[in-house]
Amino acid sequence: MRSGAIHHRIDDSETSLFSTRSPFHAKPITDFSYRPAIAGYVTIIVLVILWVAPVHAAQLVIPKISGKPGGTIAIPIVLKDVDKLAGLKLTIEFDSKLLLYRKAVKSSQASTLMYLENANTPGRLAVVMAGAVGISGREIPILTVIFSINKNINSLKRTTLTIRESQWMNDALEEIPHTTDSGPIIIHGGAESVTFARHNWRKRGSHRRIWTGYHPDFKGPADVRGILPTPNQHHDGSPGWE
């Protein structure tokens, strides 16, 4: 066929990605069959990123706290990574010989939720919170529980608030999965806690004592940081021992 337009015949040498006429001249890719493969690779990369990215799970946390006999402690109930929480049911148990429940104070973040409690049973607190509009947040101290500590405690004590039940619902009436974590409550009671129970010190030589590493109120070394006597110190506080 003859016409005024210039026609170019494509030979086999030009079907490669690089022209034979110049080894440095890249020819554009016009074969669109590559596109599905590229799209597949992109999809795989995105899925890998989503899989590796950390996922923040909802959690109820009661932090570690300490107090003294006859004193008062305010323990926050913290909800982490909450999304549209519209209902909460919580049952907490505690040692009524050590702690006396006084009251619970709802936080400003939970102002849209109604609050009901039942503390009629010694050593047990049941709480229900609900509202029409859910609340969301990375860290919400939804409630502060206040206790008085028994003034007659004369030794170092360790206790905890035991979470017997924790149920969350969102504003679509769907249950919100979450975990719970309740830290220890340490009560520094009596003179014995100052010297850290002298019966747990053994003699070393005629005038030295060293901590044996045992105390019934603790489970392990990680639980007694900040409470043990410092190294190179007598049990009565004077320096000079190893």
Residues 74 and 103 in one domain: yes
SS3 of 190, please? coil
Please tell me the predicted confidence (pLDDT) of residue 41.
Answer: 59
List, in order, residues 6 or more apart from 222 with CB less than 8 Å away. none
Residues 183 and 195 in one domain: no
Evaluate if pTM is beyond 0.75.
no
Query: Is the confidence at residue 122, as pLDDT, over 90?
Result: yes
Residues 103 and 174 in one domain: yes
Residues 84 and 204 in one domain: no
219 within a domain of the structure (yes/no): yes
Q: Which of 107, 70, 91, 95 is nearest to 184 (CA)?
A: 95
2 within a domain of the structure (yes/no): no
Q: Which of 109, 100, 110 is nearest to 73 (CA)?
A: 100
- Across 150-195, where does the E strand assignment appear? 157-160, 162-170, 179-182, 184-187
Domain with 164 in it: 59-187
User: Residue 141 — pLDDT band, cuts 50, 70, 90?
Assistant: very high
Q: Which of 106, 226, 125, 221 is nearest to 182 (CA)?
A: 125
Residues 132 and 168 in one domain: yes
Please tell me the predicted confidence (pLDDT) of residue 190.
Answer: 67
Residues 107 and 144 in one domain: yes
Between CA 60 and CA 166 the distance in angstroms is 8
Residues 80 and 137 in one domain: yes
Q: Which of 159, 181, 177 is nearest to 168 (CA)?
A: 177
115 within a domain of the structure (yes/no): yes
Residues 47 and 131 in one domain: no
Burial of 147 (0-12, 13-18, 19+ CB in 10 A): buried
Residues 68 and 183 in one domain: yes
133 within a domain of the structure (yes/no): yes
* pLDDT 10s digits, 17-34: 434 444 444 445 455 455
* pLDDT 10s digits, 51-96: 444 456 899 999 999 999 999 999 999 999 999 999 999 999 999 9
Residues 153 and 172 in one domain: yes
Residues 40 and 115 in one domain: no
4 within a domain of the structure (yes/no): no
Residue 105's CATH number: 2.60.40.680
Residues 41 and 108 in one domain: no
Q: Report the domain count for the chain.
A: 3
1 within a domain of the structure (yes/no): no
Cβ neighbours, 10 Å, residue 94: 21
The region of weakest confidence among 1-15, 24-38, 42-56, 90-104 is: 1-15
Between CA 29 and CA 38 the distance in angstroms is 13
Please tell me the predicted confidence (pLDDT) of residue 189.
Answer: 86
CB of 190 closer than 8 Å to CB of 155: yes
